[in-house]
Amino acid sequence: MCGICGFTGKSDTILLRSMMGSLFHRGPDEEGLFVNDKINLAFRRLSIVDIKSGQQPVHNEDKSLWSIFNGEIYNHKELRGELLKKGHQFYTDHSDSELIVHLYEEYGESFVKKINGMFAIALWNNNEERLLLFRDRMGVKPIFYSSINGKLVFSSEIKTILLHPEYSKEVNAEAIFHYFSFKNIPSPLTAFQGIFCLLPGEVLDYSRGHISKRKWWKVTFKENEGLNEAQTKDTIISLLEDSVRLRMGCDVPFGAYLSGGLDSSLIVSIMAQFTDKPIQTFSLGYKDDLKNKKADLFSAQQVSNQFRTDHYECIMSSKELVDDLEEIIAAFDQPFSGTISTFFLSKLIAKHVKVALSGDGADELFGSYLSHRLAQPMHHLQRMQKKGKE
């Protein structure tokens, strides 16, 4: 997890460093700046790929393009080889970050469609005085922005934008209404008036005070291609294996969240196929459940034993929750209703590895939540009502 931030307009290194400092927890390894009379870019790094030479901001050969980037490009080796054949010159060893400026040189805005990964990208075109912000397809990596007196201010976190002296702090009443209605604040809204979240698969284009947004990617659903159940299962397994393999291709120690449920257990089983070393796995339990043999913690222990992982456990108590509540609220910047237990488990994980895989997304993709299961009978009911009217 890295942190990016910046703003358009005259150089202000003092303000930029203050904003960058608010992101230290996202990238304690290194920092980097690029400043001129039109743009201010800052980066906090958590080193994952190309530890020695992967510093940011990055630039192209003539330094007309500059970029900062939070995320990871899983197909960076293939893309680098493609660009080298086209004559591009790189100054890093195998950094995925440097790819961005060269991909933009070669393919323009459509470069982002070639990336397999998770990312929030800020790309500055010095010749055109143009700033582009890109967010990945699924919105894994966040990026927030605000237009303040004709300037664009952006960051990986809301708290950074609040530091800009020209931003007038004001609560967004509409966002708070949605939070209490739906237990979340729907993007692009945030809890603060005038601060927005870039949507998944969206690009923001800033040029000389004018802002426009457009979708660079939309999810598409294909008709059933005649696959039977066995073929569909094989396809899903193949995609999962490829996805896990790509995410294990980093230059730092990695592990996995292990809840004991089907999703995370499947990820660990696939990881075991691609490494001879013991996988580091991490589980969370509660003091009140330590004697409950049906608790998730015991299921996680069984999975760990099966795949011979180096297993670590975080045992939570209500006292710890109360003690750390302010820190948790500060980390999210705005109201949230998700589980906060992940916060405690992540603190344990950070002591051992820099990267951890999880089973997030499976419930949404395969309709495991009650709201998803209710959708099918509701759909059939609508069809029956329509047929009855006919």
pLDDT higher than threshold 60 for residue 390: no
- Same domain for 111 and 248? no
Is 190 part of any domain? yes
DSSP 252-290: S-EEEE--SSHHHHHHHHHHGGG-SSPPEEEEEEEGGGT
Active-site hit among 2, 5, 197, 314: 2
The predicted-structure confidence for 43-100, as pLDDT tens digits, reads as follows: 998 776 666 767 889 999 999 999 999 999 999 999 999 999 999 999 988 889 999 9
Strands 3-8, 30-35: pairing is unpaired
- Same domain for 144 and 195? yes
Backbone CA torsion sign across 375, 376, 377, 378: positive
The predicted-structure confidence for 143-198, as pLDDT tens digits, reads as follows: 999 999 999 999 999 999 999 999 999 999 999 999 999 889 999 999 999 999 99
Contact call for residues 146 and 196 (beta carbons, < 8 A): yes
> pTM score, two decimals?
0.88
Is 374 part of any domain? no
- Same domain for 63 and 182? yes
Q: Is 250 a catalytic residue?
A: no
- Same domain for 241 and 206? no
- Same domain for 106 and 193? yes
Is 32 part of any domain? yes
Q: Domain range spanning residue 142? A: 3-215
The predicted-structure confidence for 105-115, as pLDDT tens digits, reads as follows: 999 999 999 99
Is 221 part of any domain? no
Backbone CA torsion sign across 102, 104, 110, 116: positive
Give the count of domains, the chain: 2
Q: What is the CATH number of the domain that holds 36?
A: 3.60.20.10
Contact call for residues 47 and 54 (beta carbons, < 8 A): yes
Strands 58-59, 39-45: pairing is unpaired
- Same domain for 13 and 93? yes
- Same domain for 169 and 207? yes
